[in-house]
Amino acid sequence: EVVMTQSPATLSVSPGERATLSCRASQSVNNRVAWYQQKPGQSPRLVIYGASTRATGVPARFSGSVSGTEFTLTISSLQSEDFAVYYCQQYSDWPPNTFGQGTKLEIK
């Protein structure tokens, strides 16, 4: 089973600043990584798939990148609506699909 490890657990950033969230896979996942945003009391929302492709309707300030087995979600200029928990998920080696434990992005 592929283990996805996200860091940090909590990230405090000021509005307008850049946020960088990381997710490391325990083995190669062929860039088959998705990112989801979850706000309190809501279901997850797809943000990025294929490591770097934005989902429909996702603002351009969200971007994804990869270096080996290290995946990064960057939000270039944080808006108030971006503060949430973000999960990465690999879909290369499944079942099971595996998620990271999440990074909480909070207002500094």
Binding site for other proteins (CB under 8 A): 32, 34, 36, 42-46, 49, 55-56, 87, 89, 91, 94-102
Residue (36 or 83) nearer to other proteins, CB: 36
Q: What is the nearest approach in angstroms of other proteins to the Cβ of residue 17?
A: 25
State how far the alpha carbon of 12 is from the alpha carbons of 16, 17, 21, 46, 69, in Å: 12, 10, 11, 22, 25
| H or E element, residue 19 | strand 19-25
Nearer to other proteins, 9 or 16 (CB): 9
**Closer CB to other proteins, 69 or 102, in the complex:** 102
Q: What single-letter DSSP state applies at residue 81?
A: G
Least Cβ distance, residue 15 to other proteins (angstroms): 26
Smallest distance from other proteins to CB 24, Å: 15
Q: Are 76 and 84 in contact (CB under 8 A)?
A: no
Of residues 16 and 95, the one with the C-beta less far from other proteins: 95
Query: What count of other Cβ atoms lies within 10 Å of the Cβ of residue 44?
Result: 18
With a CB cutoff of 8 Å and minimum separation 6, the contacts of 52 are: 31, 63, 64, 65, 66
Least distance from C-beta 77 to other proteins, angstroms?
25
